[in-house]
A and B are shown apart, each in its own frame.
Chain A
């Protein structure tokens, strides 16, 4: 395996910028139902924040930020959050993904629909982030060991 050469400028800039990209990604996810944004867009930005460190500092050091084995299970958990919201609506009497039937107290019907969209977007964001990083890790797997 080729030894990773560290470039100080790239490393400093990436390490400084990566948390801000993550913060902006979270902002885009949470404001998806009011302004342009949403689950997929925010998830891609979160993945970009993680991939930046993988490219700048090398694969081994980047494990401190996001471990490799977390990739696929976290993707499954994200899709299960999406599915769980729909399922919760289904067992509370409505159809699948009918957010008006979610069993949370203290919300009006419109508030429940808004909350349902938010939960679904969070699920999608987590899933997209984990899967994009997992694709990168799997594509890199052969190169690291041969």
Chain B
């Protein structure tokens, strides 16, 4: 059974997702524990896979016993097992946190919510592991439809935001499908490794250039590269807090991973950087996106909307790393996938905690009473904010360092200036919140309002916050940013150095 391990993670999540409506038909309270067990199982399977791959080399798995190029093949190389581990760990912590907050925000819909969350993770795991182009489309649609459902399950403005996301996301996936149609017609195969071997022989065929452009635009819409980002701010703002915390760290990273996989491992580095220089356009669009996201984030007054624009900027970093197309930039991009998942995960969970405590998440209304009411959450926010700005030894510094080295390596000083200026802009909008919470003295005590933490009820009252299960996941994710930062040399050496594509 254990030799099936490449395929076990998506299958376990799929089996749990489809058995939830049957298991929870009488008692809906059973949805949350079952989800936690499945998510923890996927974390264990991903850890086992990455240890196996680092020791033995790439693993393949053939569905139904049919060998490629006829059959569907799952490939675990260090890149895919690394991204799978990151996605599963973040999802585990976010789903743990959701237990305390989900009933308040989306009353009565816990079974559909957890089934959608598990389908979302099944799609994400399937995209990461698969080695077949059409299978990637199928899993991407599972993942996207679950995402539209997770965002649209909220109230008031959430269905409108989700509808816009649906239209744009379906256009993106359809362009991807058209692109692989062109590839199938000229190469005759749908397997990634097989297409990789055939493409150099059909040099100069305009259909290959058309396929590359269509796939890039399709994945660019899902990844929210600069001009194609219009769906992102509304979708992340108006969704329920638990849904934003699940979709935001994972959604766009998966599209970035697909772009890395197809550009560098199917088409080949020389084709995308010399013959049809699409990496140059990716780099310039990402640079504009970084500046646009940072500037717009400074102008926002609501915390979740600010974090959404900040996500556009951070995806710009990953796009810049892809567009530089040299080893240092590539290392920076992959390391930033890891860092940004953890940073955004903890920031959106902090926003969820603030919203639960004070009923809203408007920045102008934050005040120093949060210092007493949510001490650990605000400490976690501080660590995450320092990491977003890029102060050593937090994790964010190292990915920006590699990206800056990559830009210097290419001799492109504009990109270096963009990276530095955007770090300063990040500092502006994060310090605004830190100043309001920590540096301004607390307001005069109103009568009846009790800022004294010891009189709070609940098990966590000794450490100052009321609810353990809401506080612990946030704290763990934030403080692991310090661990990732200190240990980043190990991560780069053992994992990322091994997967630099040929020709870089």
Could you tell me which A residues sit within 8 Å of B by CB distance? 72-73, 75-77, 79-80, 83, 86-87, 90-91, 94-100
Contacts and interface: CB of A to CB of B under 8 A. Distances in A.
Given A73-B21, A80-B18, A98 B1 contact: no
Contacts of B20: 76
A83 B18 contact: yes
B64 interface: yes
Nearest to B61: A95
Given A96-B11, A96-B64, A100-B65, A80 B4 contact: no
Given A96-B63, A97-B64, A72 B7 contact: no
A99 B19 contact: no
14 contacts: A72-B21, A73-B25, A76-B20, A76-B22, A80-B19, A83-B15, A86-B11, A90-B1, A94-B65, A95-B65, A96-B4, A96-B7, A96-B11, A98-B63
3 tightest Cβ-Cβ pairs between the two chains A and B: A98-B65, A97-B64, A79-B18
Nearest to A90: B4
Contacts of B22: 73, 76-77, 80
Nearest to B11: A96
B19 A76 contact: yes
B63 A95 contact: yes
B17 to A, nearest CB: 9
- Of the listed residues B21, B62, B63, B65, the one surrounded by the most CB atoms of chain A closer than 10 A to its CB is B65
Contacts of A95: 4, 7, 61-65
Contacts of A99: 64
A91 B21 contact: no
B14 interface: yes
A83 B13 CA distance: 12
Interface string B45-89: 000000000000000011111000000000000000000000000
A83 B1 contact: no
A91 B2 CA distance: 10
Given A80-B18, A96-B11, 19 more contacts: A76-B18, A76-B19, A76-B20, A80-B15, A80-B19, A83-B11, A83-B15, A86-B11, A87-B15, A90-B1, A91-B1, A94-B65, A95-B4, A95-B61, A95-B62, A95-B63, A96-B4, A96-B64, A99-B64
Contacts of B65: 94-95, 98, 100
B400 to A, nearest CB: 41
Secondary structure of the B side of the interface? Answer: helix
A94 B20 CA distance: 27
A124 to B, nearest CB: 13
B18 to A, nearest CB: 5
Contacts of B62: 95
B4 A76 contact: no
Interface residues of B, number: 17
B63 A97 contact: yes
- Of the listed residues A72, A80, A91, the one surrounded by the most CB atoms of chain B closer than 10 A to its CB is A72
Contacts of B7: 95-96
A72 B15 CA distance: 15
Contacts of B1: 90-91
Contacts of A80: 15, 18-19, 22
Contacts of A97: 63-64
Contacts of B18: 76, 79-80, 83
- Of the listed residues A73, A94, A100, the one surrounded by the most CB atoms of chain B closer than 10 A to its CB is A73
A97 B64 CA distance: 5
A75 B115 CA distance: 13
A97 B61 CA distance: 12
Contacts of A100: 65
A45 B63 CA distance: 30
Nearest to A94: B65
Nearest to A91: B1
B235 to A, nearest CB: 23
Given A96-B4, A96-B7, A83 B14 contact: yes
Contacts of B25: 73
A80 B23 CA distance: 12
Contacts of B11: 83, 86-87, 96
A39 to B, nearest CB: 15
Contacts of B19: 76, 80
Nearest to A72: B21
B10 to A, nearest CB: 10
Interface string B189-207: 0000000000000000000
A97 B65 CA distance: 8
Nearest to A82: B18
B33 to A, nearest CB: 18
A136 to B, nearest CB: 17
A95 B7 CA distance: 9
A91 B19 CA distance: 19
Interface in B445-504: none
A110 to B, nearest CB: 14
Contacts of B64: 95-99
B474 to A, nearest CB: 33
A72 B17 CA distance: 12
A54 to B, nearest CB: 21
Nearest to A83: B15
Interface in B1-50: 1, 4, 7, 11, 14-15, 18-22, 25
Contacts of A75: 21
A103 B15 CA distance: 21
Contacts of A96: 4, 7, 11, 63-64
